Amino acid sequence: MRRVCLMAASTGLVALLASAVCADLALTKVWPEKIRYVEGEEAVFAIQVKNTGQQPWQGRVSGTIESGLAERTPVFDREMTLAAGEEKTLTEKYEVHLGEFGHALYVVADNGQARTEAREVFCVGPWYYNMGRYLTAFELGKFRSPEEVQAAMQSKWRSWYVTCHELFSTAPGIWAQMTPTDETWFSGQNSFYESLTGETAFIEAAHRNGMAVMLYDITACHAAPAEEYSRAHPDWLNYNDRGRPQGAYNMAEMERWRAMTLEAREHTSPVQLAPNVASPQVQDAHLQDIIACSKVLGYDGIRWDGQLITAGYDVFGKRIDTDLDAQNAAWNTKMRRTLMDAIPGYTVNYNYGPQSQGEGVPLPQTYKTLGPNAYLLWESIRGTYKDPNSPLNVWEGFIEGTRAEINDYARPHGNFQHFGWYGMDSEVQQNHTQAILYALGGHWDTWNPLKYDAFSMRYGEYLWDTHLKNLQDGSALVQVADPQDRLWWQQFVQERPRAGGGRTIVTHVLNKPVHERQNEFEKDAPPLQTDVKVTLAPPPGAQVLKAYVLTPDANRAHWCAEVTPTVEGGKASVIVPSVEYWSFVVWETGA
Amino acid sequence: MGIFLSRRSWTAAVLVLAATAMGSTVWAQATARQETEGQRQVLVMENEYWKLTVWPDLGARVMHAVYKPTGHDWIFEKGGLFCDHVTQQTWPGELMDAAYQTQIMSAGPEEATVRVWRKIDGKGDEAIAGVVFERDMTLKRGDPRLHAVIRLKNETEAPRAPTPWVQNMFHVGGGKTDNRDFRPTTTGIQEAWAEYTATETKRNGEDFVREPTAGWTAVANTANGEGAVFLVTYNDLFWLYNCIGALTTEWWYDPVPLAPGASWESPVTMVPFEGLKSVAYADQKVIASLDTTYQDQKLDATLRLLSASPEAMPPVTGELTLVSWPEQKVLKSEKFTTPEVGAKPVSQTFDLGALAKTQEAVIRVKLTSGQYTATFERYFDPLAAEKAQFGQVTSNYRIPKPRKEKHFELPAEAKVERHEQPRVLLYEGLHTRYWGLDYALRYLDVDKIQKSHHTIFVYGDQLDYMVGSPSELLQYDLVILSNVPAEALTDVGQAFLKLYVEHGGSLLILGGNAAYGAGSYGEGDLSSLLPVEVGGFFDRVEIKGGCALAPSGTLGESLFARWPRGGNAPRVYWMHQIAGLRPGAQVVMKAGDRPAIVTNQVGEGRVAAVLLTPWGVPAEGQIGFWEYRLWPRQLAGLMDWLQAQERGR
């Protein structure tokens, strides 16, 4: 009997090794050397096949790139002979000419008697934080070489499908000093142990993996560099109405910080002073510091953790905030232009108070100056979603709040909305959270692997493309049979024009949580929903050309299936076989 | 004259309410007892007004507070009355959920008192480690008030300076809605409240009251008039606070300097009330509300009074006056006499006549009853609601913050102890390390440098070391105040410092961004020690290109005899701009025409005010004074002079 080994849902190499093994033949490695490629780049794919049986094996090993919903691109087809117990590696090169977003390298080893197959996901495109996970790291002083970093990090990077890394709080004084001047240092914020060797090694290793690395920066001067900054340039600080520098400091901590050793370390931030960001001198000095730091260490961009001009006074008591929105818009424009002019390809990204929630100062003009193609972090959500008084604590409110921020503020300017940093103990809540955020077009930054990491990279085109438009009321176009009111879908209907005419319509169907409110210790998974009928009323003059059901909860061999709709009264219907947490239908319509 | 309406006397109210609530008079007496609640051993205190349950294992907080007249339990889940904290620890701190020791001091029937206490670990924090935080809570027969005493005991052999903080998490009137906080501040009675909807909590007002003007804070249910006033000792009070939306009523005390073996205590009285939907004034005798209505440009004010104690107050005479603001011209004044003031409010509405929409005003109330007098006022802006809508600052109304009376004394013959190797107390603020103090103090061959580090964070200014008494401060030959604000010293520290200098102490003051104007040196006891009049909060001046420093006067020429002269002399780039010199001041160094270092004599002691800052970047070829290699030596000379008088020099 012909034996077929299908690779089960896998989130990386370890799972792949465990699952792609037949009794006597195994694909022990299917490995795009990078997680992300850019158009025209030469990709290198490593494939390892092992004969685990007692007899020689001879057959063909072929590789195909799977793209979109049903596209296939043959890459290689090799004859291979393996002695009993032998393992061989194929190294295949391929010049990338693939569409933006996710793809999979699908490999089959077959000799007519035994067949094994496996696939691994990668992505293509310039915007690294829009195609996979975004992680953060610090405490890099321990690394001595890119190889050391790779050994320590690669498993996580690849199994979590990470395309972008941030180095959090690694600068000596943050705003007060971004560029290191010594081989090793303790960062001013949180006292992480950092080194020139370690940071450059980390960034080099990330680049080898196709990732980008962001420099973290916050509008506060820290630790000893802050003392010197504020001493040398008292006119560069923001003061309160009583003439005191805005911020906080603890001189006892500062004294201990100066004498600190790696063995006896406190993770403190002994000084945090607010700079006067409204001052052109302050702006120029800091931008030059960022440029120097990025060039020295190799950063690809910056993620500002609050760079706003804020209310306050200059050193002589003159108000620095005249029109905060206009001032911040001008500052953002200058910042982007200066950094992007100085370092080709550099990106500028932000942490902003969600405008849809009325958090912080309203910044309509400023928002127009962000991006396009910028990462926007909504960080406060990690506290508010737990607050029983917050509308975000109720799942329905969570959907409305996050949806409004993406639809009204991120996507209209071509930007990518991230939510984070937060995680929870409950896998149930985690799955719901990821499904909701991703189905709305958002990203989630957290510290642990998530269920839909591989899936979302592979089908990112249907989640994260900023050309997708989330319809205000999806029910005008789509209906989902839901007699028990167990499903969310009205808020999750997205569409975009198709090349050559027609539209792509995505109808997400989410299985509602058992409880109305979020609970980070949730144990109750929702009951499985089966055979859900989804009906599309195509726009006038259009018809459904193709329809696909995507099932993120399935194993990766069954993520996507083309289905034939039944058409009745001009409406097309498909049956979604199951909704554990999240499934969706992609309709392609045209004349 | 107005006519007050009294609904019921206090005595009658007590009898009726007790009977209604309990159906018998079995709890007319006060009791305290141990009980079991689930798996937990608890303490229950009870009288005809209250049933209070204390959970010793959870910070000895009052976790149920059933107010019998209405049947409402004021404590919500995870709330509690009397959550103990010290501000050296950020919330929740080590005390809030810690197991306490307890003792029933009195089980009744006249008084029921429970004592709870715990020693603070402090994790090595010298300000608090080993201090015992103790609290007595008492219910009395026939008394609706909860009487508490907050007590700190230093059972260590070193001085401590904890800053106690009391937090109450509760609601009045049967639920969280309609609870509103009232706090007396320099900008009038500040209100704070939250509006709860199914989807959001809208917060109104400010959480912090950094300038309280009286020792009370209140919460009232604006729908049904149930509420409570906490009466605390203003002299001990630092800030008031309400976490809006989280239903807390909190206050922080001034730091409490505790010499080894010393203790401190401060009473708190929680007075429940019914029938007031706001609070404009409170003391141990009276709780008052003063509400206004403004319609068709006519103003009415309604004054309500009730007794804050079980005893009814004899009829009160008084006067209510409307004055214009800021001109303070009397617009209308009316005298009144109330009936006896008991547990239920007596009230009167005053027709204050026409008031133009653009006319801000203040309503002032004076109360007299026998020896008792009280005055309070309420600011009124007819356009406040309209202005608030457009986000405008509505007023410049401000009343002075009453000065606290911190009484510390030293015997007249007390003197600073002088040591062959001086002992120095250094209040260390930002930029201290640039002054070269380490080297300067080496020149003085100091025996001991006791540092007190300045911290500024969400709870304001703090120091991590304070001496426990004025006499302890006399053991220091020299005190250096290096860019540390008066707020960090607090009234207590300033009072100690004043006594220290007057009894022969030596004080060196260094400039910086938390010194002089920005350090509030122009106020309080510290001000009286200065040789200069302090400028405003932004008293700094930049001297472009710097200015060479030069000795001034006979004393200056003597102190800085080796200072380089002329344009190549070390420079200053930023310094403090003073409002003037005080009588007796001697300028010993100048930057051009500006006084740079000024000294004076205060009592038996000496003070040097260094108006320089080590700020700026000298141009090539220039040198900042703080960089000058002999600066530490010059500074040491100044320090030596400060101590010289007591050394017979």
Rounded to an integer, what distance in angstroms lies between the CA atom of residue A111 and that of residue A79? Answer: 10
In whole angstroms, what is the distance from residue A204 CA to residue A149 CA? 9
Is the pLDDT at B300 greater than 50? The verdict is yes
Query: Residue B502, exposed/middle/buried by CB under 10 A (0-12, 13-18, 19+)?
Result: middle
Contacts of A248 in chain B (CB under 8 A): 455-458
Q: How many CA atoms lie within 13 A of A348 on its CB side?
A: 23
Q: Is B520 in the A-facing interface, judged by CB distances under 8 Å?
A: yes
Split at pLDDT 50, 70, 90, the class of B394 is: low
Torsion over CA: B562, B568, B573, B576 (sign): positive
Any residues with CB less than 8 A from the CB of A264 and at least 6 apart, and which?
none
- Write the pLDDT tens digit of every residue in A23-76: 589 999 999 999 999 999 999 999 999 999 899 999 999 999 999 999 999 999
Helices assigned H by DSSP within A209-275: 223-232, 251-258
- Put simply, the answer to whether B614 touches A230 (Cβ < 8 Å) is no
CA angle B357, B359, B364 (to 5 degrees): 120
Q: Which amino acid, one-letter code, is at B433? A: R
Asked if B100 and B75 count as a contact pair (C-beta separation under 8 A), the reply is no
For residue B455, give the DSSP letter.
E
Q: Is B536 on the interface with A (CB under 8 A)?
A: yes
State the DSSP H helix or E strand holding residue B380, giving kind and residue range, or none if neither.
Answer: strand B372-380
Cis peptide before A421 (omega within 30 of 0): yes
Cis check: omega of the bond before A526, within 30 degrees of 0: no
Tell whether A227 lies on the interface with B, counting CB pairs under 8 A.
Answer: yes
Closest among A88, A116, A117 to A23, alpha carbons compared: A116
User: Which residues in chain A (263-322) have CB-CB distances under 8 A to chain B?
Assistant: 271, 313, 315-317
B412 band by pLDDT with thresholds 50, 70 and 90: confident
Residue A387 is predicted with a pLDDT of: 85
The Cα of B107 is separated from the nearest Cα of chain A by a number of Å equal to 40
Round to whole Å and give the CA distance between A417 and A403: 10
**C-alpha torsion angle, residues B6, B7, B9, B11 (rounded to 10):** -160
A525 confidence band (pLDDT: 50, 70, 90): very high
The verdict on a CB contact (< 8 Å) between A248 and B540 is: no
Q: Which two tokens stand for residue B246?
A: 């989280």
Determine whether domain B289-389 maps to CATH 3.50.50.60.
Answer: no
Distances (CA, A) of B463 to A191, B159, B180: 23, 13, 34
Q: Do A244 and B538 touch (CB under 8 A)?
A: no
Question: Is pLDDT at A180 greater than 80 in this prediction?
Answer: yes
CATH 3.10.180.10 fits B423-647, yes or no: no
Q: Is the pLDDT of residue B18 over 80?
A: no
Altogether, the residues listed in chain A come to a count of: 591
Residue A325 has pLDDT above 80, yes or no: yes
Q: Which two tokens stand for residue A355?
A: 């405008």
A122-154 residue pLDDT tens:
999 998 889 999 999 999 999 999 999 999 999
Is the confidence at residue B446, as pLDDT, over 70?
A: yes
Asked whether residue B388 carries a pLDDT value surpassing 60, the answer given is no
Q: State the pLDDT at residue A286.
A: 98
What is the average pLDDT across B258-271? 96
CA-wise closest residue to B80 among B202, B178, B168: B168
Q: Are strands B506-510 and B605-610 parallel, antiparallel or unpaired?
A: parallel
**How many CB pairs below 8 Å do chains A and B form together?**
96
Q: From the list A249, A315, A391, which residue is nearest B456 (CB)?
A: A249
Question: Domains of chain A (ranges plus CATH)?
Answer: 3-124 (2.60.40.10), 133-217+277-462 (3.20.20.80), 469-590 (2.60.40.1180)
**Residue B614: closest CA among chain A residues belongs to which residue?**
A231
Q: Which of B538, B542, B544, B626 should one mutate to test binding to chain A, selecting the residue with the greatest count of A CBs within 10 A?
A: B538
Write out chain B residues lying below 8 Å of A252, CB-based. Answer: 451, 453, 455, 464
CA angle A522, A526, A527 (to 5 degrees): 145
Q: What are A410's two structure tokens?
A: 């991120």
The helix (H) or strand (E) run that includes residue B588 is strand B586-591
pTM: 0.82
For residue A248, give the nearest of B196, B457, B514 by CB distance.
B457
Which of A359, A389, A516 should we substitute to test contact with B (largest number of B Cβ atoms within 10 Å)?
A389
CA A501 to chain centre: 30
d(CA A105, CA A119): 5
Alpha-carbon distance of A117 to B362, in angstroms, equals 85
A323 part of contact set with chain B, CB < 8 Å: no
**Pairing verdict, β B478-482 and B423-428:** parallel
Cα–Cα distance between B480 and B454 in angstroms, integer? 13
Within a 13 Å sphere around the CA of A584, how many CA atoms are in the beta-carbon half? 28
Is the preceding peptide bond at B56 cis, omega within 30 degrees of 0? no
d(CA B353, CA B360): 14
Convert the pLDDT of each residue in B482-527 to its tens digit.
999 999 998 889 999 999 999 999 999 999 999 999 999 998 899 9
CA angle in degrees (0–180, nearest 5) for B477-B483-B486: 85
Residue A362 has what pLDDT?
87
* CATH placement of domain B74-273: 2.70.98.10
pLDDT score for A586: 98
Q: What is the model's pLDDT at position B15?
A: 36
Lookup result for tokens 């010194």: B515
For residue A357, give the DSSP letter: G
Contact list in B for residue A404 (CB cut-off 8 A) is none
Residues 6+ apart with CB under 8 A from A581: A431, A432, A435, A451, A510, A511, A526, A552, A553
B170 is written with which tokens?
A: 């509760």
A361 to A328, A365, A413, B438, B598: CA distances (angstroms): 11, 11, 19, 45, 45
Enter the tokens of residue A486: 């167990």
What contacts B614, CB < 8 A, 6 or more positions away?
A: A231, B431, B434, B435, B624, B625, B626
What's the rounded Cα separation, in Å, for the pair B349 and B362? 16
pLDDT at res. B467: 87
Structure tokens at B47: 């009288």
pLDDT of B22 higher than 70: no
- The amino acid present at B495, given as its one-letter code, is A
Query: What is the rounded CA–CA span in Å between residue A233 and residue A276?
Result: 11
Indicate if the pLDDT at residue B646 is higher than 70.
Answer: no
C-alpha span between B225 and B221 (Å, rounded): 5
Q: What integer best gives the mean pLDDT of chain B?
A: 91
Say how many Å lie between the first and final Cα of chain B, rounded: 71
For chain B, which residues make up each domain, given as ranges?
74-273, 289-389, 423-647
- Residue B340 CB neighbours (<10 A): 17
pLDDT score at B389:
52
Residues B189, B377: Cα–Cα separation, whole Å: 9
Residues 6+ apart with CB under 8 A from B221: B171, B172, B173, B174, B178, B179, B180, B227, B277
Confidence label for B567 from pLDDT (cuts 50, 70 and 90): confident
CB contact under 8 A, A389 and B201: yes
SS3 string, B593-630, reads CEEEEEEEEECCEEEEEECECCCCCCCCCCCEHHHCCC
- B408 contact A CB<8A: no
Strand, helix or coil at A317? coil
Q: Of A272 and B406, which is predicted with more confidence? A: A272
pLDDT above 90 covers a percentage of chain A that reads 88
Any A CB within 8 A of B432 CB: yes
Distance CA A546, CA A565 (A): 8
- The residue in chain B having the minimum alpha-carbon distance to the alpha carbon of residue A316 is B538
Q: Sheet holding A416-420: strands in order across?
A: A133-137, A162-167, A212-217, A301-304, A347-351, A375-378, A416-420, A443-445
Instruction: Name residues whose C-beta falls within 8 Å of residue A23's C-beta, 6 or more positions apart in sequence.
Output: A3, A52, A53, A114
Q: Decide if pLDDT at B4 tops 70.
A: no
User: pLDDT at position A171, please?
Assistant: 97
Interface test with B, best of A244, A313, A517 (most B CBs within 10 A): A244
Cross-chain Cβ contact A251/B574 below 8 Å: no
CB B218 within 8 A of CB B255: no
Mean of pLDDT values over B564-577: 94
For residue B200, the chain A residues in CB contact (below 8 A) are 389-391
Each residue's pLDDT tens digit, B64-92: 999 999 999 999 988 999 999 999 888 89
Q: A557: which DSSP letter? A: G
Structure tokens at A470: 């989330």
Residue A201 amino acid letter: A
If you write DSSP's letter for every residue of A129-192 in order, what string do you get? GGSSEEEEE---TT--SHHHHHHHHHHHHHHTTEEEEEETT-SSSBTTB-S--SSEEE-TTTT-
